[in-house]
Structure 1
Amino acid sequence: MIDWGGRHGAVSRREADKVLGRRLVLEGLANGVLTQPWRGVVVHAADSLKLTTRAQAALLVVGQPAALSGATALALHGISAVDDTSIHVTVPFARRIKSKPRLIVHQADFQPSDVVELDGLGTFSLDLALAGFLCDGDKRTAFAALDEAMRGLAPDHVRTLRANVRDRVVDRRDRRGIHRALMLLDLATGKADSPPESIVRLIVVEAGFPIPEVQYEITTIDGRTLYVLDMAWPSRRIALEYDGFASHEGRHDYDSERDSRMAGRGWITIRVSAADLREPRRFLAELSRAFERRGVA
């Protein structure tokens, strides 16, 4: 494999011709060793699915000033909730750059201080990337990404991130989506164990149910933790558990026994599967019946 100088396997076509010679580049493209994700840039075919390679290629195509943004920036910051194979790049309003297949170009003015280097790639800071995605990204994915960004942070760091993102949202020149973003900011806790759990909580709140407590502990009489519920309404003794495939495969008997023990304590437990995220009517109806049983219509 040709060493492109440590830039994630992507170089401009001009530089590839200079390093290899035009004939070898053409041979590499013909035999599939090299590929051109977009005109003017060449990457090793073996690296063509890597996020950093595609991101570097996009920056080469777009030119400077530009920064990786949106879902691409969040993924580079380590946010797993986003799943977008397109590369998102933001350029200043003064630049007229058209989007290409799988390369989405956004326009917004930004300062050099808004850009951080991640693996040598100019990328929007986490707070700025979150603010933009909360306003114009998929709502469920945006909320899950925000929750994930907060996960594991100390309480004061959560407050700082929330405040920084809020300031970014309020300061946006594009006012679309600001109300939605602020609502999601208020709802996020950073306590969900996974992006699907965040999405379940958003679905529940948008359906009109009270905001549930997250990671609610059930303890023994002497204070030892017995269970930790994904979501709960303790005053009504209603619990909502998300059964991710990986974490609950082969655990049906254990979960059933746990639900029975919780029922003995007066709790109603409702389980949510991955399929329910796509069509939530079943578990929302079950949740509604649970609230009715507790005397809350």
Structure 2
Amino acid sequence: MGRRAVLEGLATGVLAQPWRGVVIHAADALNLTTRAQAALIAVGPPAALSGATSLALHGISAVDDTVVHLTVPYVRRVESRPGLVIHRAEFTEFDVVELDGLTVFSLDLALADFLCDGDKRTAFAALEQAMYGLSTDHCQRLRDNVLDRVLDRRSKRGIHRAQMLLALATGKAESPPESILRLVVVEAGFPVPEAQFEITDIDGRKFYVLDIAWPALRIALEYDGFAAHEERHERDAERDQRLAGRGWVTIRATAADLRDPSRVLAELETCFARRAA
């Protein structure tokens, strides 16, 4: 473009400079792929996109981080800067893949790192989302690959937490909030529930599918996402009545309950006490 055109573009806001040495179209400033590519150019090789950035590029929507995460070898002297976090670790060509022309940590490695170091709830939701829709064999293969990556980590921090999350994951949750809700109740001390539990009629036909369930006590926990349930109050109430006729008690949770689960946990405790008695 030439120096003058670049300076004019920056002055008028058509162009943006996220980091020294790289310029992008301002209209693409919120595009993850553009920011990721800009980070790779700004830092230079060898480097690989990692952490939440890697997971997002693999299509994991459970992670939501506008900061770009990049890993470089220990010998490189590169510092973090606003909007760009630099991590240090040794990696080989077998640890990275190319997505849209970008050098990215493989999915199993990115999951292993995030399960150990990332936010616990987000990491669990990301793992379940990565497993969702896979066949039983492929799901187990991914679990085994991630576990191998966890055990091979140079740092042992977070390994036990990662192993617990791997053991709890089923890949059945239909949304990240459902995964988080399941983790919340388990960490609160309740028995591990079943995910996406099917209730059938007398002929074996699927009647309902419960987000989270304890079949032995016939207790169900349903997550009501805003988009899915905004106009379904009457239908949900009718469904709860039909389930009650089959001996089930249903507790409903919302996004607010993920921020403060005290109400849901108190209702669960009451239900468990009554059903146990």
TM range (shorter): over 0.9
Shift of 1:61: 1.1
Please tell me whether residue 124 in structure 1 is matched to residue 112 in structure 2.
no
Pick from 18, 24, 38: which aligns with 1:37? 18
Matched with 2:5 is 24
Please tell me whether residue 225 in structure 1 is matched to residue 206 in structure 2.
yes
Q: Which amino acid counterpart does residue 66 of structure 1 have in structure 2?
A: A
SS of structure 2 residue aligned to 1:78: coil
List 4+ stretches of structure 1 deviating above 2 A: none
TM-score (norm. length: structure 1):
0.92
Matched with 1:17 is none
Matched with 1:48 is 29
Matched with 2:260 is 279
Cα distance in 1 between the residues matched to 2:14 and 2:47: 29
Cα distance in 1 between the residues matched to 2:242 and 2:28: 51
Shift of 1:295: 1.6
Matched with 2:40 is 59
Please tell me whether residue 108 in structure 1 is matched to residue 89 in structure 2.
yes
SS of structure 2 residue aligned to 1:153: coil
Cα distance in 2 between the residues matched to 1:152 and 1:158: 9
SS of structure 2 residue aligned to 1:98: coil
Cα distance in 2 between the residues matched to 1:63 and 1:288: 54
Matched with 2:162 is 181
Shift of 1:249: 1.3
Pick from 45, 55, 80: which aligns with 1:99? 80
Please tell me whether residue 266 in structure 1 is matched to residue 244 in structure 2.
no
Shift of 1:94: 1.1
SS of structure 2 residue aligned to 1:216: strand
Q: Percent identity?
A: 73
Cα distance in 2 between the residues matched to 1:128 and 1:27: 42
Matched with 1:14 is none
Q: Which amino acid counterpart does residue 231 of structure 1 have in structure 2?
A: I
Cα distance in 1 between the residues matched to 2:19 and 2:265: 45
Write the mapping of 1:105-184 to structure 2, written as runs, cut at 5 A: 105-184=86-165
SS of structure 2 residue aligned to 1:294: helix
Matched with 1:79 is 60
Pick from 190, 202, 217: which aligns with 1:209? 190
Cα distance in 1 between the residues matched to 2:258 and 2:111: 22
Please tell me whether residue 255 in structure 1 is matched to residue 255 in structure 2.
no
Unaligned runs of 5+ residues in structure 1 are 1-19
Cα distance in 2 between the residues matched to 1:245 and 1:34: 37
Matched with 1:191 is 172
Shift of 1:279: 0.3
Q: Which amino acid counterpart does residue 212 of structure 1 have in structure 2?
A: P
Q: How many residues align?
A: 277
Q: Which amino acid counterpart does residue 14 of structure 2 have in structure 1?
A: V
Cα distance in 2 between the residues matched to 1:21 and 1:234: 68
Shift of 1:151: 0.1
Cα distance in 1 between the residues matched to 2:166 and 2:265: 23
Q: Encode CA deviations 1:42-61: one digit per residue, 9 max, x unaligned.
A: 00111111000000010111
Cα distance in 1 between the residues matched to 2:239 and 2:14: 54
Unaligned runs of 5+ residues in structure 2 are none
Q: Which amino acid counterpart does residue 153 of structure 2 have in structure 1?
A: R
Q: Which amino acid counterpart does residue 176 of structure 1 have in structure 2?
A: R
Cα distance in 1 between the residues matched to 2:163 and 2:75: 29
TM-score (norm. length: structure 2):
0.99
Pick from 212, 218, 224: which aligns with 1:243? 224
Shift of 1:62: 1.1
Cα distance in 1 between the residues matched to 2:244 and 2:39: 55
Cα distance in 2 between the residues matched to 1:141 and 1:274: 14
Q: Which amino acid counterpart does residue 188 of structure 1 have in structure 2?
A: A
